[in-house]
Amino acid sequence: MSDSTPILIGAGQITQRDTPPDAAREPIELMREAALRAADDARLPRTALPEVDSISVVNVLSWPYANAPRLLAERLGAAPREELYTAVGGNTPQWLVNETAARIADGRVGLALLAGAEAVHSVVRARKGGVALRWTTQSAAAPRTVGDGRPGSSEHEAAHGFVLPVQIYPLFENALRARAGRGIAEHARVLGGLCASLAEVARDNPFAWFRTPRTADEIATVGEQNRMISFPYPKLMNSILDVDQGAAVLMTSVGEAKRRGVPRDRWVFLQGFADAHDHWHVSDRVDYASSPAIAACARRALEMAGTRIEDVSFLDVYSCFPSAVQIGRDALGIAADDPRPLTVTGGLAAFGGPGSNYSMHAIATMLDLLRATPGTRGLVTALGWYVTKHAVGVYGTEPGPAPWPPGDAGLQPELDALPHPPLELGPEGPATIETYTVSHGRDGTPERGLVIGRLDDGRRFLATVDGDRATLEALEQREAVGLRGRARTDGMGLGRFAPG
């Protein structure tokens, strides 16, 4: 390894619980505390933090900072050469690590801080209690934004209601069930077991929001405390955003770590990495049970690290919803019965889903695990929007075989060239459901059916479901992937699908 080789040297996490809203720390203070803990973890004096020359902040959803990187720098007494703020997306923490490593390797960055935090829990409680939060407001100029900031849905998708993650990830799930050939009840049990296995990891994680494990039956059984959100996901299968959590990592080069006296046992190497996206819009995907981009990123990252997925000891597969876990697992080539846990934190439904910053916690946790077992490797997958944009990192306590900086992987042109069905904006005629979901109200009543379908000539279309409550309930009681019906376009130019 050369002195320019990038390494991660410190990580810090904080979870704020049971704090009255008027005493709760705002997101920027959670980031500051996470940064201080990262310095401690690196065995650096906290006085080193003002010396960082790069500060990157993951997009904050819970509080409207004008310039979060600038504010964090001020709170730390730093004046970095670069202040970066990411676009929205759960892929961004791992993407930031990948990008920062490249800038360190070519000498543009000496000591970098990556941080993010959310305080949705305190904001929601303050609003409910009529408490005015006296958190920071700024008049600073907007920061430099990095990452792919395109909206996750097209106008056509949004017009049909294909907008929220709770509406879109169930579309993937129902496609996965149909591909597996399982009945609805059987698949619910499988999902309950998958989610319970993730929550089991959260039990031993002091930073997890929910540390009491739930059984597979508890998670899979719909009831008053576990209402159906969008079929087939009851509440306990959904990512939990109502958390106050922050995480940060420190990165530098081998040479700078030596100069600063960072002990060798704190160093963790990014041995392999890759970034790419699938066909951007959900309506353009190759199918709804796979991710060619995750598979391509994983191949590239593992090849760069000189290892195989079978030889990776620790995994964190992005887990906003069960379908994301299964698609990621399958793309990595991991068998469903593999004994390795698929998360190091407990997953977004149990550990918590702090906006776009979840994977920063996964990376921070990965550092601890790898240092405790030198010579092992860990792999993190991170994704944004709707299994759309992806970042993968392979980590280890030893340098990988690939020299820095690595060459361009060239993944995106190949992925962009993958064929997909043409989208018909004004469908008419006999049709078949390709995948679907049914959204429920807060009282558990089915309210709206969403369909991605195929006309008989293979063209794909989007539609809502024609019919009453009984029609929607029937879609949840039998396998509706492959169900025949008729598509039409209504007077608003929107697709409609009538089963039968």
| Measured distance CA(499)–CA(475) in Å, rounded | 9
- List the structure tokens of 448: 């709206």
| Measured distance CA(12)–CA(203) in Å, rounded | 19
Rama region for 77: left / alpha / beta (φ>0; ψ in -120 to 50; rest): left
% of the chain residues with pLDDT over 70: 99
* Domain match, 299 and 403 both: yes
Residue type, 150: R
Asked if pLDDT for residue 405 goes beyond 80, the answer is: no
pLDDT tens profile 275-316: 999 999 999 999 999 999 999 999 999 999 999 999 999 999
With both helix axes pointing from N to C terminus, report the angle between 165-180 and 184-202 in degrees, rounded to the nearest 10.
120
* Summary mean pLDDT of the chain: 96
Half-sphere exposure of 259 (CA within 13 A, CB side): 10
* Domain match, 367 and 263 both: yes
CATH number at residue 137: 3.40.47.10
* Domain match, 434 and 495 both: yes
* Domain match, 438 and 381 both: no
| Measured distance CA(383)–CA(361) in Å, rounded | 14
Supply the pLDDT for residue 410. 84
* Domain match, 25 and 116 both: yes
* Domain match, 383 and 494 both: no
Supply the pLDDT for residue 106. 93
Q: Residue 251 falls within a domain, yes or no?
A: yes
* Domain match, 401 and 300 both: yes
Q: Residue 164 falls within a domain, yes or no?
A: no
Closest CA relative to residue 287, chosen from 384, 454, 420? 420
pTM of the predicted model as reported, rounded to 2 decimal places:
0.97
Residue found by looking up tokens 């935090």 in the block: 117
Q: Residue 224 falls within a domain, yes or no?
A: no
* Domain match, 408 and 443 both: no
Determine the average pLDDT of the residues in 29-36: 98
Last residue of a domain, one of 359, 390, 416: 416
Supply the pLDDT for residue 408. 67
User: How many domains are contained in the chain?
Assistant: 2
| Measured distance CA(434)–CA(96) in Å, rounded | 35
* Domain match, 259 and 301 both: yes
In which domain, by residue range, is 145 found?
A: 6-152+241-416
Whether the Cβ atoms of residue 396 and residue 275 lie closer than 8 Å to each other: no
CATH number at residue 433: 2.40.50.840
* Domain match, 323 and 450 both: no
pLDDT tens profile 167-207: 999 999 999 999 999 999 999 999 999 999 999 999 999 99
pLDDT tens profile 416-432: 999 999 999 999 999 99
- List the structure tokens of 438: 């049914």
Residue found by looking up tokens 């993010």 in the block: 116
Rounded to the nearest 10°, the torsion over CA 190, 196, 201, 205 is 150
**CA diameter of the chain:** 72
Asked if pLDDT for residue 139 goes beyond 90, the answer is: no
Q: Residue 463 falls within a domain, yes or no?
A: yes
pLDDT tens profile 141-157: 889 999 999 999 999 99
* Domain match, 291 and 259 both: yes
Q: Residue 177 falls within a domain, yes or no?
A: no
Rounded to the nearest 10°, the torsion over CA 426, 427, 433, 436 is 20
Q: Residue 217 falls within a domain, yes or no?
A: no
Q: Residue 173 falls within a domain, yes or no?
A: no
The alpha-helical segments, DSSP class H, found in 229-291 are 254-260
Last residue of a domain, one of 393, 416, 439: 416
pLDDT tens profile 211-234: 998 999 999 999 999 999 999 999
Residue found by looking up tokens 């959900």 in the block: 282
Last residue of a domain, one of 376, 394, 416: 416
* Domain match, 449 and 490 both: yes
Would you place residue 404 in the very low, low, confident or very high pLDDT band (cuts 50, 70, 90)? confident
Supply the pLDDT for residue 138. 87
